[in-house]
Amino acid sequence: MSPQRVAAVVRKEVRDFRRNRFVVWTMAVLPVVFLITPMVTLFRIPASASGPEVRSAVGAISLLLLIVPIVIPPVIAAYSVVGERDQGTLEPVLTAPLRPSELLLGKAIAAFLPSIAISYAVYFIVAISIRLGAAHVVSAVVWHAPQLLAQILFTPLLALWAIWVGIGISTRASDVRVAQQLATLAGLQLLGFTSLLSFQLITPSVPLAIGLALALLAADVVAWRVVSQLFDPERLIAGSRTPANAVRSRRTRTARTRA
Amino acid sequence: MDRANAPCLSGGPALVVEHLTKRFGERVAVEDLSFSVAAGEVFGFLGPNGAGKTTTVRMLATLIAPTSGSALVAGLPLEPGHGVEIRQRIAVMPENPGLYLRLTVAENLEFFAGLYGLPSPQARIGQALEAVNLGGRAGDTCGSLSKGLRQRVALARTLLSDPAIVFLDEPTSGLDPVATREVHGLIEELRGHGVTVFLTTHRLEEAEQLCDRVAILNTTLRTLGRPDELRDRLFAKTLVVRTAAPLRSPEQVFAVPGVESWRVDQRTGYVLTVADTRTAAPEVTRALVAAGADVLSLAEERHSLEDVYLELVDDDVEATR
């Protein structure tokens, strides 16, 4: 693994995204949508509201805020491989001395950085606004330590998972739009998990948050490895599958690298 | 340019290909391909569409795995374990330049300089751009460049890493004559620096002009050699005689040593098949003068590489009918 090559991919990706109008607009509009709804909902809760009523509203908003790191990354991640193939840039890149795992890691980091910045920004704008202007009962639930910790820990890990799912779909999809739609849909599987936390069906606690975060981290590492295996240059360039012997050889190489 | 990768070949051939075959399912793209390319040679790879030229380049560039056979690329065996090392020593320019159109010329090259781990990238980028006469366009976005300029940026990209072998897939496709001449100049320059050039092209005059040897491929290797060798191998040596009036008894005139046979061609005159043009031409000249013929011209018939190509490829077309 060469950090220099990974850094080169990250730098190029970030430069390319910044000049891609579709990506810039999507990244700008989605957070605004996710900001308005929680603010309006939580500011309308009166100080006299009952505990269950507040917890239910905050749960719905927490769910919404945890959707941000799930829906934003696929916009970029799903484009990463199939987009390069469509614009004819994948072949020159693959002729450079770059391992697929380095290429994919660089792309994942490049998708991760803006996604996580936006997700945290949205969350903290909501949380600080609640603290300053909403009813105390609402603020107390939002600023509950395990709830905060869960948001802070799970946001990057959920984003990473969504990114690997997006890149995985991108390595197999035939079209950028299809990849983006499938990646967003696939990322929503995490809604079930986040719902359990948001509605406190699983009571958030610090050990539970850390345990679940570690499990998610392990899943992210496994996802990176699996997606690297799914990445088949032959299929992407020539439109055919690598013969079985070549796949075996690549696996052997991976095993050697690990050793 | 100093060539950092030159020692990796250590005097051996740049490419050795043995019985390379590639099948995509039932379809055979390339079959039983064997040839070698010497270090510093400009090697032309010709063939009709779908002949397997690009597939061969992709195999040698480790992008796709051969179904069977073996190869040595820049001194390394073509195996998955050597993919990164091989790609470090070669550069490939695909037919499509494959540039990031939203990035500038310099940013495109910076990206690849990073992938090759070049120690002083800015200096290398400057040199590569100067080599393709794009020194003043470093800040332009690639999307704003013409096709010819994009092709030149792609060429600059291949020069960045001082590769031992450069694979150029149709480098002059779609270029105007001036840009084409510039690309040819660059290829000559690469030859001058001892870089091995593997050139796939449809332009036969280009191959004839630039290549030390050419291979003609149509799924299998049809022929391989220097362009003049191929002409000699495929076509008999001929002299074309034009006279002001038909000869009275050509069978007597052409009954001279060195002339194997002759025929009348309505367009060109008399076409003589000879063993060696250098010895036969003076004999024929003397015989024509002795016969009192008014000779307009006597010349060796030159077959082009195109004739060789058409002869071989037409055979294949006939065979598949």
Q: Which residue has the higher pLDDT, B319 or A106?
A: A106
B157 CB neighbours in chain A (<8 A) are 92
Out of B103, B116, B154, closest to residue A16 by CB: B103
- How high is the pLDDT of residue A172? 81
- How high is the pLDDT of residue B1? 45
Per-residue pLDDT tens over the stretch B221-264: 888 888 777 777 666 788 888 888 888 888 888 888 888 888 88
For B6-231, the fitting CATH number among 3.40.50.300, 3.10.129.10, 3.40.640.10, 3.40.50.450 is 3.40.50.300
B81 CB neighbours in chain A (<8 A) are 249, 252-253, 256
Question: CA of B109: which chain A residue's CA is closest?
Answer: A12
B85 CB neighbours in chain A (<8 A) are 97
The C-alpha atoms of residue A31 and residue A36 are separated, in whole angstroms, by 9
Q: State whether the Cα torsion A222-A223-A228-A231 is positive or negative.
A: positive
**Residues of A at the B interface, defined by Cβ within 8 angstroms:** 2, 4-5, 7-9, 11-12, 15-16, 19-20, 87-99, 233-234, 237-238, 240, 242-243, 245-246, 249-250, 252-253, 256
Number of structural domains found in chain A: 1
Res. A197 pLDDT band, cuts 50 70 90: low
- Which stretches of chain B score pLDDT less than 50? 1-7, 321
Q: What percent of chain A has pLDDT over 70?
A: 85
DSSP string covering chain A, please? Answer: --HHHHHHHHHHHHHHHHT-HHHHHHHHHHHHHHHHHHHHHHHTS-TT--HHHHHHHHHHHHHHHHHHHHHSHHHHHTTTTHHHHHTT-HHHHHTSS--HHHHHHHHHHHHHHHHHHHHHHHHHHHHHHHHHHS-HHHHHHHT-HHHHHHHHHHHHHHHHHHHHHHHHHHHH-SSHHHHHHHHHHHHTTHHHHHHHHHTTSSPP-HHHHHHHHHHHHHHHHHHHHHHHHH--HHHHHHSSPPPHHHHHHHHHHHHHHH-
Is B24–A250 a contact, with Cβ atoms under 8 angstroms apart?
no
Mean pLDDT for A19-39 is 81
Res. A20 pLDDT band, cuts 50 70 90: confident
Kindly state the tokens that stand for B104.
């500038």
Question: CA of B110: which chain A residue's CA is closest?
Answer: A8
B155-194 residues touching A, CB cutoff 8 A: 157
Phi then psi dihedrals of residue B236, to 5 deg: -70, 150
CATH topology of domain B236-302: Alpha-Beta Plaits (3.30.70)
B99 CB neighbours in chain A (<8 A) are 89
Is B65–A12 a contact, with Cβ atoms under 8 angstroms apart?
no
Per-residue pLDDT tens over the stretch A48-102: 878 788 787 777 777 778 788 888 887 788 888 888 888 889 999 999 999 888 9
Is A98–B85 a contact, with Cβ atoms under 8 angstroms apart?
no
- How high is the pLDDT of residue B7? 43
ipTM surpasses cut 0.85: no
- Whole-Å CA distances, A121 to A33, A117, A124, A152, A159: 13, 6, 5, 11, 14
Is B102–A16 a contact, with Cβ atoms under 8 angstroms apart?
yes
A19 CB neighbours in chain B (<8 A) are 102-103
Q: Which residue has the higher pLDDT, A164 or B310?
A: A164
- Whole-Å CA distances, A216 to A220, A227, B50: 6, 16, 48
Chain B interface, mutation test: which of A2, A13, A80, A95, most B Cβ atoms within 10 Å?
A95
Question: CA of B22: which chain A residue's CA is closest?
Answer: A243
The C-alpha atoms of residue B298 and residue A33 are separated, in whole angstroms, by 86
- How high is the pLDDT of residue A11? 94
B96 CB neighbours in chain A (<8 A) are 88, 91
Question: Which has the minimum average pLDDT: A153-162, A170-179, A185-194, B100-109?
Answer: A185-194
Is B63–A237 a contact, with Cβ atoms under 8 angstroms apart?
yes
The C-alpha atoms of residue B91 and residue B98 are separated, in whole angstroms, by 14
Q: List every span in chain B annotated with CATH 3.30.70.920.
A: 236-302
Per-residue pLDDT tens over the stretch A205-222: 777 777 877 888 888 888
- How high is the pLDDT of residue A30? 79
Per-residue pLDDT tens over the stretch A232-252: 888 888 765 554 444 333 333
Per-residue pLDDT tens over the stretch B119-160: 888 989 998 998 888 888 888 999 998 888 888 899 999 999
B118-157 residues touching A, CB cutoff 8 A: 154, 157
Q: List every span in chain B annotated with CATH 3.40.50.300.
A: 6-231
pTM, 2 dp: 0.77
Residues 6+ apart with CB under 8 A from A108: A77, A160, A163, A164, A167, A224
Is A12–B103 a contact, with Cβ atoms under 8 angstroms apart?
yes
- How high is the pLDDT of residue B291? 86
Q: By residue range, what is the domain housing residue A168?
A: 3-258
The C-alpha atoms of residue A225 and residue A203 are separated, in whole angstroms, by 32
The nearest CA of chain A is from the CA of B99 a distance in Å of: 6
